[in-house]
Amino acid sequence: MASSTSFFTTLDGLWFQPTEHTRGPWDEHACHAGPPTGLLARAVEQLFPEHRLTRLTVNLQRPVPFDGFHVHASIVRQGRTVCLSEAHLVDRSGKTVITAAGMHLLPASPVEDMPSYQQDMGSPEQAAAGPFPIESTLHGQPAFNGAGVAVRYPAGQNNAPGPTRAWLKTVPLLDSETASPFQRICPLADCGNAFGRNAEPQDVTFMNTDLTLVLHRDPVGEWLGTDSVGYWETNGIGLADALLFDATGVVGRAMQTLVLRKN
């Protein structure tokens, strides 16, 4: 196994090899989708350095292979204020595994008297260390819920099923560079279905088929928070809805469409 101090290693910035921290909970040969989403954000951000990535939507067409993949990004529309991008994550055989669409906005000069609303979400210093919501995987191999992720729960919260508020800190995407704020929150953004689950994975699988992440401002700090809830329906379709925040307040939202299957 390559480096265990980051989610990925890379020699050229295009081909990425996952480490054990990236393995998903369902299949030992597939990745958790959060870290690869961070790499897709990285790819599209490089297209528009003067603009700010505000929304990223990823469609998970196939399991993300644990044996590595390429990431490619391209410009869809280059406007003065609004730019659009797309990216593809491609496996060794040339098959597209994930498609992503980005929206990039040109920041304006700060307006001091801008009317706003902010919600106090607490701080990680007021929370206590605890286990990742899914303590055991279906395969028993080192995975995303292991040493690469630290979790803290505010008073009255824990890793039991149900709506959950928590703080998360992860290893970096790459040892060789500092991730952008958008990239850093991607692993947490893809955890809403785990934190807000209504049952354990041994009883119900709750795999997400997509992730839409919207950030109205950049998150600050190592610890980032989620307030997650899962809406599960008897037709086997669900929605994970997560409010995302840092110690200053709310930064955005993440939503996942779920496929639910009783085990």
Q: What is the pLDDT of residue 110?
A: 86
- For the cut 90, the answer to whether the pLDDT of residue 107 exceeds it is yes
pLDDT-derived band of residue 3, with 50, 70 and 90 as boundaries? very low
Q: How far is CA 231 from the centre of its chain?
A: 19
Q: What is the pLDDT of residue 33?
A: 96
Average pLDDT (179-207) is: 96
* Beta-carbon contacts of residue 3 (< 8 Å; ≥ 6 apart): 9, 19, 175
Dihedral pair phi/psi, residue 9, rounded to 5°: -120, 155
Answer whether 0.75 is exceeded by the pTM: yes
If DSSP states are collapsed to H, E and C, what string results for 4-52? CCCCEEECCCCEEEECHHHECCCCCCEECCHHHHHHHHHHHHCCCCCCE
- For the cut 90, the answer to whether the pLDDT of residue 217 exceeds it is yes
User: What are the pLDDT digits (tens) for 34-64?
Assistant: 999 999 999 999 999 999 999 999 999 999 9
- For the cut 70, the answer to whether the pLDDT of residue 1 exceeds it is no
pLDDT-derived band of residue 249, with 50, 70 and 90 as boundaries? very high
pLDDT-derived band of residue 111, with 50, 70 and 90 as boundaries? confident
Q: Is 147 exposed, middle or buried (0-12, 13-18, 19+ CB in 10 A)?
A: exposed
Hey, CA dihedral for 13, 17, 22, 24, is it positive or negative?
A: positive
User: What are the pLDDT digits (tens) for 113-165?
Assistant: 888 888 899 999 999 999 999 888 878 899 999 989 999 999 999 999 999 99
Q: What is the pLDDT of residue 2?
A: 39
- In the numeric block, the tokens 């779920």 are attached to 258
The closest alpha carbon to 189, from 220, 168, 216, 162, belongs to 168
d(CA 123, CA 212): 25
Q: What is the pLDDT of residue 124?
A: 97
Task: Look up residue 22 and give its two tokens.
Answer: 């990236």
pLDDT-derived band of residue 14, with 50, 70 and 90 as boundaries? confident
Q: What is the pLDDT of residue 13?
A: 83
* Beta-carbon contacts of residue 215 (< 8 Å; ≥ 6 apart): 53, 54, 55, 181, 182, 185, 244, 251, 252
Domains plus CATH for the chain? 8-107+121-262 (2.40.160.210)
